[in-house]
Amino acid sequence: MKIHEYTIILEPDEEGQGYTVSVPALPGCVTQGKTLEEAIEMAKDAIELYLSVLRDRGEPIPGDVQTAKVQVAA
């Protein structure tokens, strides 16, 4: 089985009770976890499920998105 690598975005929730995780390359692939470690594990599970659904439908598996950091004065 091929290994895929995806960028995930980890955002602390507003009450400080955990993290919301999104996967930019996989629209709608969002999960959460109470700790950073749990959020990352939940992201892995969500990505695996998302890719499994794509395979079952015969749809292509997308690659990761390009990411970059920029600096701006504020």
d(CA 13, CA 21): 10
- Of 45, 9, 1, the C-alpha closest to 25 is 9
d(CA 15, CA 34): 11
**14 — pLDDT class (breaks 50, 70, 90):** confident
Is residue 18 within 8 A of residue 35, CB to CB? The reply is yes
Average the pLDDT over 48-57 and give the result.
97
Neighbour-count burial of 24, counting CB atoms closer than 10 A to its CB (0-12 exposed, 13-18 middle, 19+ buried): middle
pLDDT of 56 > 90? The answer is yes
CATH class of the 1-74 domain in this structure: alpha beta
